[in-house]
Chain A
Amino acid sequence: MIKRFLLAVVLILAAAPAFAVNPDEVLSDPSLEARARALSAKLRCMVCQNQSIDDSNADLAKDLRLLVRERITEGDTDKQVLNYIVSRYGEFVLLKPPFNVRTLLLWGAPALLILAGGVSLIIFVRKRAGQPTGSKLTADEQARLVELSLD
């Protein structure tokens, strides 16, 4: 059923280049439409570069937008819609990657960096305490200093 529907959509669209979110896609219920828009912003248009399907005018993005809306009207929760899309297209489709072993370092990066920065700051301050400061004098400057102190 869905496949036939999608095929029909593709055939209609093949004639003219599509445009990101067309009036005919918009759901009549504003709250459902708002959910569809929010979900669309989280999904990647896979033939584009880092663009969400909400922003993209590619045909594939339109197919996905319609798919999202279809799932929503059939009563899926946001999570179910995302799971459904991921099961069909893989995690690549999610613009916000899920937190798992593979993305551990990605999501952990800010915390790790703050920790590393903070720890090195503390070590540095501890090490610094009691050490002389300022830049070393060159031989010229040293000589000049001696000269000055003689005056």
Chain B
Amino acid sequence: MIIEIGHYALVLALAIATILSIVPVIGARRGDQATMEIAPFGSVLLFALVAFSFAALTYAHVVSDFSVKNVWENSHSLVPLVYKYSGVWGNHEGSMMLWLLVLSLFSALVAVFGRNLPDTLKANVLAVQAWISFAFILFILLTSNPFIRLDPAPPEGRDLNPLLQDFGLAIHPPLLYLGYVGFSICFSFAVAALMEGRIDAALARWVRPWTLAAWIFLTLGIAMGSYWAYYELGWGGWWFWDPVENASFMPWLAGTALLHSALVMEKREALKIWTVLLAILTFSLSLLGTFLVRSGVLTSVHAFASDPSRGVFILCILLIFIGGALSLFAFRAPRLSAGGLFAPVSREGALVLNNLILTVACGTVLTGTLYPLLLETLTGDKISVGAPFFNMTFGLLMIPLLVAAPFGPLLAWKRGDLFGVLQRLYVAAGLAFVAALAIFYAEYGGPMLSLLGLAAGLFLVFGAAADLWHRSGLGKVDAHVAWRRLKGLPRSAFGTALAHAGLGITVLGIVAVSTFATEHIIEMKPGQTTDVGGYVVRFDGMQPATGPNYREDRGHFSIRRGGFEVADVWSAKRVYVAQQMPTTEAGIQTFGLSQLYVSLGDPTKDGGIVVRIWWKPFILCIWGGALIMAAGGVVSLSDRRLRVGAPSRKAKATKPAAPVMEAAE
């Protein structure tokens, strides 16, 4: 019964979304307060209905109601409880429900926290959100309905894909979707602004925090997914340039660009038209990602859906929204006024360079991801575009970006002094180079390019520190004055420094692992030892074990250094009983920032087993850097000017120094 009510709630939500799509727009056109007020109320109601519907589906999964087809296909009575919850979104239908839940949550948040937004803008934004909700509810109801019943009900489910029975994958999709779908707010604001034909300060102050929030989640989601692939897939890779990964990486690149251009729009009223376009493009890439993953157009580990009717439906959503928004942009952009002027060498100029490189990098990834599909559709020729292509093109593009990033925050707005900034950064650059040489020497060298990569990563870290150093005036004024100044700096300054340093740490990890990692592929018998990364790894033997829904053969390894046992790891080969699917559970031991990674192969005839052991130096920097980037985002989000919120148009009319007027002088 709960399932049917959940189903019904979703149908009701469709009705609400229909009303919300139309009525507030009319209200905003006519300036009718009462009609516009439907928008916030309706958005909250829509969220409540979708949340109920989602809860009903979750309930079916948790109690293992196999009369529901979605539960039968993707669950099993023996699956641990936490994976019964995460199993809700571990399949096509459920993940679309999660998408919708996050979307309606964001609409509701705008409705609740947007009290001080101009009424027409709020009504239009919520209406655009409702268009997206409408499209996705229709998609779920028509092609991916999770509430279909089976009669008679099967006694047992077909199990959740064992690869997904993992904590990392339990939280990866929600994080990713909070990011993906979070960009819908920026999209809706951009479209609403185009509908109104004007970009005002309220918009500028709203877009940045939302972009920032979405960006934080997307950063965490991608990092989580990468770490999951690293420990779960069993061959120690952490990024594969798989089309599905690219699908989440492209919105991240565009979102990062948006974050920086929104900054210019907020502070200097410049780059407004470009920011609006970028907001549209960023969410378009999220939609494209959803299409690529959900339509089954690429078949890979992640794409567990392959039904052409779904693909065509999402493609239509994609074309209508992207096409519609871009046409609106083409019509309205000439009417929008451009913002403040600036010299090429200025903070604005640096942010334009950032946007140029990030957009080109994003376009390159997009081309590489879609090219094989398009070429095959058009000519029938099959080509592969894999890691070597992306590493080369994307890598080359990143070099100028990494080198330029520390300069940005140190340049002044409007007109900057490049020589002055160089004087402030040469210490950081020198330190970075010396530290890179030290690491290089300690790890016994490698290709010269990696030395430069290390230096670039460290330059970002030291450059971020130099930024804070000079802002506080350390070394020039008394220590306590500098401390007071440092405390007085806006939180966004710390956010920027943290995020840039985090990026540097990620780069450091990437370069170190690609250059200094060692691999050992050997046959081991119990008692045998091997040297890896300065540690002695001893294979002690195998033993069988059973878990709630799997059997495994696990090997025990003790790790010694200088004659003392410092750690031990278990590495297992697992078979999930319901689907008879084998997986490898790698044994991972962390030493500082580095890891020892032990993965089991096949047993040999003479009683040994094939073992692959990797030494991955500084690998934790890759994800640690991403965490620091996200932390930078959080710090920046807590900045005072964002907490205060955007002023409403009414409030502005009574304050003489409103930003809109200032810019018009």
Which residues of A approach B to under 8 Å, CB–CB?
A: 16-23, 26, 41-42, 44, 49-52, 55, 90-97, 102-103, 105-107, 109-110, 113-114, 117-118, 121, 128, 131-138, 140-141, 144-145, 148
Contact of B653 among A90, A136, A140 (CB under 8 A): A140
Q: How many Å lie between the Cα of A52 and that of B242 in the bound state?
A: 11
Kindly name the residue among B359, B521, B523 whose own CB sees the greatest number of chain A CB atoms within 10 A.
B521
Interface residues of B in 352-379 (CB under 8 A from A): 352, 356, 359-360, 363-364, 367-368, 371, 375, 379
Contact A134 B665 (CB under 8 A): yes
Take A26-B521, A102-B375, A106-B371 as given contacts and tell me if A133 and B383 are in contact as well, using a CB distance cutoff of 8 Å. no
Kindly name the residue among B272, B341, B664 whose own CB sees the greatest number of chain A CB atoms within 10 A.
B664
Contact of A95 among B298, B363, B385, B610 (CB under 8 A): B385
Contact of B242 among A50, A93, A106 (CB under 8 A): A50
Shortest 3 CB-CB contacts between residues of A and residues of B = A95-B386, A134-B663, A96-B388
User: Which of the four size classes fits the interface of chain B?
Assistant: 35 or more
Contact A49 B660 (CB under 8 A): no
Contact B664 A135 (CB under 8 A): yes
Contact of A136 among B337, B368, B382, B662 (CB under 8 A): B337
Contact B341 A133 (CB under 8 A): yes
Task: State the Cβ distance, A13 to closest chain B Cβ, in Å.
Answer: 10
Determine if B301 is an interface residue (Cβ-Cβ < 8 Å): yes
Contact of B664 among A90, A106, A134 (CB under 8 A): A134
Contact partners of B384 in chain A: CB under 8 A: 44, 50, 91-95, 97
Q: How many Å lie between the Cα of A131 and that of B360 in the bound state?
A: 28
Task: State the Cβ distance, B6 to closest chain A Cβ, in Å.
Answer: 34
Contact of A110 among B240, B381, B397 (CB under 8 A): B397
Chain A: CB-nearest residue to B385 = A97
Chain B: CB-nearest residue to A91 = B383
Excluding A19-B602, A133-B339, 7 further A-B contacts by CB distance (< 8 Å) are A44-B386, A49-B298, A52-B386, A109-B368, A113-B360, A136-B198, A145-B661
Task: State the Cβ distance, B196 to closest chain A Cβ, in Å.
Answer: 10
Contact A110 B382 (CB under 8 A): no
Chain A: CB-nearest residue to B298 = A49
Contact partners of A110 in chain B: CB under 8 A: 360, 363-364, 393, 396-397
- 20 A-B pairs within 8 Å (CB atoms) are namely A18-B602, A19-B601, A49-B301, A52-B387, A55-B235, A92-B382, A93-B384, A96-B386, A96-B388, A97-B384, A97-B385, A102-B379, A102-B383, A105-B371, A113-B363, A121-B356, A134-B269, A134-B660, A137-B660, A148-B656
The total of interchain contacts (Cβ-Cβ below 8 angstroms) comes to 156
Determine if B645 is an interface residue (Cβ-Cβ < 8 Å): no
Contact partners of B341 in chain A: CB under 8 A: 128, 133
Contact A20 B242 (CB under 8 A): no
Task: State the Cβ distance, B143 to closest chain A Cβ, in Å.
Answer: 24
Determine if B624 is an interface residue (Cβ-Cβ < 8 Å): no
Contact B339 A134 (CB under 8 A): yes
Contact partners of B241 in chain A: CB under 8 A: 50
Contact A137 B389 (CB under 8 A): no
Contact partners of B200 in chain A: CB under 8 A: 135
Take A21-B521, A49-B300, A106-B367 as given contacts and tell me if A95 and B235 are in contact as well, using a CB distance cutoff of 8 Å. no
Q: How many Å lie between the Cα of A131 and that of B488 in the bound state?
A: 37
Take A26-B521, A102-B381, A144-B653 as given contacts and tell me if A133 and B610 are in contact as well, using a CB distance cutoff of 8 Å. no
Determine if B582 is an interface residue (Cβ-Cβ < 8 Å): yes
Task: State the Cβ distance, A109 to closest chain B Cβ, in Å.
Answer: 4
Contact partners of B375 in chain A: CB under 8 A: 102
Determine if B392 is an interface residue (Cβ-Cβ < 8 Å): yes
Contact B340 A134 (CB under 8 A): yes
Q: How many Å lie between the Cα of A97 and that of B610 in the bound state?
A: 33
Contact A23 B240 (CB under 8 A): no
Chain A: CB-nearest residue to B360 = A113
Task: State the Cβ distance, B131 to closest chain A Cβ, in Å.
Answer: 26
Contact A97 B383 (CB under 8 A): yes
Task: State the Cβ distance, B64 to closest chain A Cβ, in Å.
Answer: 31
Q: How many Å lie between the Cα of A3 and that of B240 in the bound state?
A: 32
Determine if B299 is an interface residue (Cβ-Cβ < 8 Å): yes
Contact A17 B582 (CB under 8 A): yes
Contact partners of B199 in chain A: CB under 8 A: 135
Contact A121 B352 (CB under 8 A): yes
Q: How many Å lie between the Cα of A122 and that of B389 in the bound state?
A: 30
Contact of A106 among B338, B385, B612 (CB under 8 A): B385
Determine if B522 is an interface residue (Cβ-Cβ < 8 Å): yes
Q: How many Å lie between the Cα of A20 and that of B584 in the bound state?
A: 12
Contact partners of B397 in chain A: CB under 8 A: 110
Contact B388 A95 (CB under 8 A): yes
Interface residues of B in 374-426 (CB under 8 A from A): 375, 379, 381-389, 392-393, 396-397
Chain A: CB-nearest residue to B344 = A125
Q: How many Å lie between the Cα of A146 and that of B582 in the bound state?
A: 77
Q: How many Å lie between the Cα of A44 and that of B337 in the bound state?
A: 50
Contact A50 B237 (CB under 8 A): no
Contact B602 A16 (CB under 8 A): yes
Contact B523 A23 (CB under 8 A): yes
Contact partners of B665 in chain A: CB under 8 A: 134
Q: How many Å lie between the Cα of A137 and that of B659 in the bound state?
A: 11
Determine if B243 is an interface residue (Cβ-Cβ < 8 Å): yes
Task: State the Cβ distance, B256 to closest chain A Cβ, in Å.
Answer: 16
Contact A133 B340 (CB under 8 A): yes
Contact partners of B298 in chain A: CB under 8 A: 49
Task: State the Cβ distance, A30 to closest chain B Cβ, in Å.
Answer: 12
Contact of B387 among A21, A95, A109, A134 (CB under 8 A): A95
Q: How many Å lie between the Cα of A137 and that of B339 in the bound state?
A: 13
Contact of A96 among B337, B367, B381, B392 (CB under 8 A): B392
Chain B: CB-nearest residue to A133 = B340
Contact partners of A113 in chain B: CB under 8 A: 359-360, 363-364
Contact B602 A17 (CB under 8 A): yes
Q: How many Å lie between the Cα of A118 and that of B298 in the bound state?
A: 33
Task: State the Cβ distance, A132 to closest chain B Cβ, in Å.
Answer: 8
Q: How many Å lie between the Cα of A135 and that of B659 in the bound state?
A: 10
Chain A: CB-nearest residue to B386 = A95
Contact partners of B385 in chain A: CB under 8 A: 95, 97, 106
Chain A: CB-nearest residue to B356 = A117
Q: How many Å lie between the Cα of A103 and that of B298 in the bound state?
A: 20
Task: State the Cβ distance, A64 to closest chain B Cβ, in Å.
Answer: 13
Contact partners of B300 in chain A: CB under 8 A: 49-50
Contact partners of B201 in chain A: CB under 8 A: 135
Query: What 1/0 mask marks residues of chain B from 246 to 289 whose CB sits below 8 Å from any chain A CB?
Result: 00000000000000000000000100100000000000000000
Interface residues of B in 324-358 (CB under 8 A from A): 337-341, 352, 356
Q: How many Å lie between the Cα of A26 and that of B379 in the bound state?
A: 39
Contact B664 A92 (CB under 8 A): no
Task: State the Cβ distance, A22 to closest chain B Cβ, in Å.
Answer: 6
